[in-house]
């Protein structure tokens, strides 16, 4: 049965096809708007309509078998009432003529139901706010930890660079000292050699004096 057939089925009971179409449209519109807003529409003996949140999950593509990630979403759900279930299962028989006997809602249940629905919606909003606050706090903590780690890494790098420069400077100073010592060590033997050659000159002077003395005689 589609919508047009539903309208035809109730047209005689509400006074005409146009009235039946308006009634069906009004009922469906009210149900859809209430469920989209997070309210639960309950009809005693028939069933209830409600909004259900589905978390993100993984599913498989039936054609390829590939694993696919499904995003978080909300879907409408209908739960049949006990009277409706009994009629469908056959434990109770449908009346041959007239309307299906649906239990009437007890006095005060409509107001109470609305209040309960509002309370549930408020509880859901409060839970969502708490979850958002927790996520925000966790994100702030992670950001602070990253900044602290980056600062510590920079300090460590700076210390290492300073240590490398100090080591390089110490090596250069040591190399200079070593070079100076080697140069000093090389120059010392030259002076000794010069000192040794000096007596040779005196010996030559003595020989010259002896020659002169012999010539005079």
Helix axes 17-36, 3-14, angle to 10 degrees: 120
Residue 160 inside a domain? The answer is no
Asked if residue 195 belongs to a domain, the reply is no
> Radius of gyration of the chain from Cα atoms?
53
Cα–Cα distance, 97 to 73 (Å, whole number): 43
Does the global pTM surpass 0.75? no
Which residue is listed with tokens 């978080």?
72
pLDDT at residue 155, as a whole number: 73
Q: Could you give the number of structural domains in the chain?
A: 1
Report how far apart, in Å, the C-alpha atoms of 104 and of each of 8, 27, 98 are.
Answer: 25, 18, 16
* Domain membership flag for residue 59: yes
* 7 within domain boundaries: yes
Residues 52/75, Cβ–Cβ less than 8 Å: yes
Domain residue limits at 30: 3-108
50 found inside a domain: yes
Q: Report whether pLDDT(163) > 80.
A: no
Q: Which of 71, 68, 51 is nearest to 59 (CA)?
A: 68
Residue 89 lies in a domain: yes
- Secondary structure of residue 96 in the 3-state scheme: coil
Residue 131 has what pLDDT? 67
In 3-state terms, what secondary structure has residue 82? helix
State the average pLDDT over residues 126-135.
66
63-67, 108-112, 124-128, 144-148: range with highest mean pLDDT? 63-67
The answer to whether position 197 is within a domain reads: no
Pairwise pLDDT comparison (128 vs 113), residue with the higher score: 128
Q: Is residue 68 part of a domain?
A: yes
Q: How far apart are CA 4 and CA 19, in angstroms?
A: 13
CATH number for 33: 4.10.520.10
């Amino acid at each position: 049965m589609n919508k047009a057939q539903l309208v035809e089925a109730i047209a005689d009971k509400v006074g005409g096809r146009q009235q039946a179409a308006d009634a069906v449209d009004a009922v469906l519109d009210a149900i859809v708007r209430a469920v989209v807003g997070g309210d639960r529409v309950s009809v005693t003996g028939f069933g209830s309509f409600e909004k259900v949140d589905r978390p993100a999950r993984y599913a498989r593509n039936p054609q390829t078998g590939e694993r696919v990630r499904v995003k978080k979403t909300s879907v409408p759900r209908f739960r049949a009432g006990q009277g409706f279930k009994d009629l469908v299962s056959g434990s109770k028989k449908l009346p041959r003529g007239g309307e299906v006997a649906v239990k009437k809602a007890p006095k005060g249940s409509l107001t109470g139901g609305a209040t309960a629905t509002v309370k549930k919606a408020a509880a859901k909003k409060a839970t969502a706010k708490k979850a958002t606050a927790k996520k925000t706090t966790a994100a702030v903590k992670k950001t602070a930890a990253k900044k602290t780690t980056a600062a510590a890494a920079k300090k460590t790098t700076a210390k290492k660079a300073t240590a490398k420069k100090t080591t390089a400077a110490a090596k250069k100073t040591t190399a200079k000292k070593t070079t100076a010592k080697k140069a000093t060590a090389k120059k010392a033997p030259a002076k000794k050699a010069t000192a040794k050659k000096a007596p040779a000159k005196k010996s030559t002077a003595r020989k010259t004096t002896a020659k002169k003395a012999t010539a005079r005689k």
